[in-house]
Every structure is written in structure tokens, then in C-alpha cells.
Amino acid sequence: MRIRVAVTVAVLAATAALAGCAGDSSDLPVLPDQPKVAATPPAPGGEQAAPPACDPRASLRPAGALPAPGDMPAGSYMATIQERGRLVLGTSQDTLLFSSRNPFSGRIEGFDVDMGRQIAQAIFGDPDKIQIKVIGYDKRVSSAADGSVDLVADTMTANCARWADVNFSSIYYEAGQKVLVSKNSTAKRIEDLGGKRICSAAGSTSFDNIGKVKAKPVLVAVARPAFGDCLVAFQRNEVEGISTDDTILAGMAAQDPYAKVIGEKFTDEPYAMAMNKSHPEFTRFVNAVLERNRADGTWKKTYEKWLGDFGPAPAPPGARYR
């Protein structure tokens, strides 16, 4: 098991530019038990090939009114999906509240899954015509790019590097990174955790962000295949903290009464769904569905269903188009 623990120092991320998909920071070589590099490493991501300047929140504008469910325009990618009889959604199965396996029913459910189900509803008129494919965090960009899934809804941050390989929908959720520590920790913010091992999922923007935190000594970023594995590592005292988006952390804290989330958001993580770049009409379609759901209260209902415990639903993130 120790072999899999990729204790990587931030410097590794600098090699991300070598990766095929610029946005998949996880494609960097994951070195087992990499000895800690003593010199202050450049912040991960800091030396990545600069992505083309863009507004990651700006997606493709919807084209007119939504077609009726079950009657997708011929030649469009939605028609291909309709023909196949199911929408293939790529997501994870251990991010409580967003997409996790319900231990009682064995089904995968959450806010992200519902986003996918709403797209299935719009195509088929039936939210159950959906196939859930669990993909690794480091496969989110490549799965959408190679067409092995139609849609990725997996707490995925829209950023310019990823825009180079996939199309994102408009933003459906605004998250921000925080850190989870043990209940008896005296730290108030992530900067107070200098030198501690902080876990995040391999291939997530959160993992890269850990290295950018200005703490002395620098934080030791520990990569695990998924966030559930980070919580396991935390409970087994293999790491002192977990850092990722606030909502994912809230899902973890709900499972562990000896954990708490501290500090303010120190990043902005706008979530969007990722799709293949060669079907812009599908992105426009998804944006139209999101547009409608923001307006008719579906978004608010979905928020309340999964995230209602954290307070009343805010206004849905506004859509921006290019």
C-alpha cells in the first residue's frame, strides 16, 4: 500500500507540462515514496506551461429553445445519445453529497449525479436513462476527450488548461478550497500546517493548490487515488490533513466526528461539466438545460436536497458565455 502513496513534493507538478492533456495535472509521473526535496520547490502548477489566457467561466451560448425530450435534432450528438438509449456519465463514487455510493442501495447519487440525470431527463424525458461510469480524478479530462463518456460531472473545476482539451458547460456550482484537520488541532488556517502531510486526490486542482500555499516549512502534498482514500489515510494517521473543495470536506466531516474544516476558502473552484470538444452542439444543449433549471428552481431544489444542511440555497451561479 505504501507503494501507492505518492508522496510528491510540489516540484513534480512542474512536469505537468509534459502531460498529454495540459489540464490533467495527474498525468505527471507519480513517484512512489519520493524523498522530500529539501530546496524550496516552486509551487506546483506555478511553472506549468501557461495556458492560453481565457475566461474559464465563459462557455458556449445555448442555441435557441430546447428540443422536446426524445426528439433530438438529427445529426446532433444528442441524437447519437438518444439512439444509444442512455447517457454515459463519468463521475466518482466516494465524494459524499456530490457523487457517492449509497451503502444501503448500492446506487451512486449526489449533486453531480443529479446534474447528469437532469441532462438525461432533457434528452430522453427519463432521468434513469443514464449509465454511471466511475473514473479516476486523473482521468476526467481524458475520458471526456476520448469519448469514453458523454459527460463528466465530478466536482471538476473549469480552468483554462483544461479548456484546451475539453469543452466545459456553464458553471453549476461555486466551491473553494479549504482544509480538514483533526478536531484537536490548534491550526486556524492552512498556513498554520507547515511541514504537515496534506492529502488530496491525484489529478485534482486541489492537489496542485496544496503546493502553492505559503507555509513554512512547505506542506507535504500526499496523493491518493480518490478522496475517500484520503479520509482513510487521515483516519489511519497517515496524513495530518486533507485539503480540497469545501463541500467535499463537509461530506467527509459528516462521516468523521473527530474532524473539522478550518479557515476561509483560499481558492475559487467553479464547477462545470466537461464534454468532448468536437460536439459543441452538445455543450450548447447542456447549457440550455442548465439555463432552464436555474430559472425554474430545479437547481435550487437539487441544492437543498444534497447541500441543504449547510444553510439555505444561494442564488445559482450566473452563466457566462463567450
Partner 1 sequence: MSTALAARPGVVRRVGRLRHTSPGRLQLLIATLLALGVLTGLLAGVAGSSARAGTSDLGDRAQPLLVEAETIYSSLADADTTAAQAFLAGGLEPSTLTDNYDKDLARATTALTSAARRTAEDGSAADAVRTLSAGVAQYSALVATARANNRQGLPIGASYLSEASRLNRDTLQPQAKQLFTDAQREVEDGYGRAGALGWVALLLLSLLALMVALVLTQRYLSRRTRRTFNIPLVVATVLTALFLIGSFSILLTQQARLDRAANQGSLPVASIAESRILALQARGDEALTLAGRAGSGPYEKDFTVVAERLSVRGGPMVNSYGDLDPALGRMMTRASEGFQQYVTAHRDVRALDDSGDYEGAVKLAIGKQTTGTFEGVRADLDKAYENRKAFFTDEIGAAGNGLGVLTVGGPLLALAVCVLAFLGIRVRLEEYR
Return the residue matching grid coordinates 433549471: 293
Sole window of 1-9, 22-30, 266-274, 296-304 interacting with partner 1 (rule: CB under 8 A): 1-9
Beta strand residue intervals within 202-258, DSSP E: 220-224, 241-245
Among the listed residues 229, 240, 245, 269, the single contact to partner 1 using CB under 8 A:
229
**Cα separation, 254 vs 274, whole angstroms:** 28
Residues in contact with partner 1, shown as a per-residue x/- string from 173 to 212 under the rule CB under 8 A:
----------------------------------------
Cell numbers for 239: 496524513
Cell numbers for 177: 478550497
CA 136 to chain centroid? 11
Kindly compute the dihedral angle of the four CA atoms of residues 146, 27, 162, 39, in this order, to the nearest 10 degrees. -170
**Cα separation, 290 vs 294, whole angstroms:** 6
Nearer to partner 1, 58 or 134 (CB): 134
Nearer to partner 1, 4 or 301 (CB): 4
305 part of the interface to partner 1, by CB under 8 A: no
Least distance from partner 1 to the Cβ atom of residue 226, Å = 7
Touching partner 1, residues 80-139 (CB under 8 A): 85-86, 88, 93-94, 96, 100-106, 108, 131-136
Sole window of 73-81, 174-182, 231-239, 286-294 interacting with partner 1 (rule: CB under 8 A): 231-239
Q: Is the CB of residue 12 less than 8 Å from the CB of residue 222?
A: no
237: region left, alpha or beta (phi > 0 left; psi from -120 to 50 alpha) = left
**Residues near partner 1, by CB under 8 A:** 1, 3-4, 85-86, 88, 93-94, 96, 100-106, 108, 131-136, 148, 226, 228-229, 231-232, 235, 252, 255-256
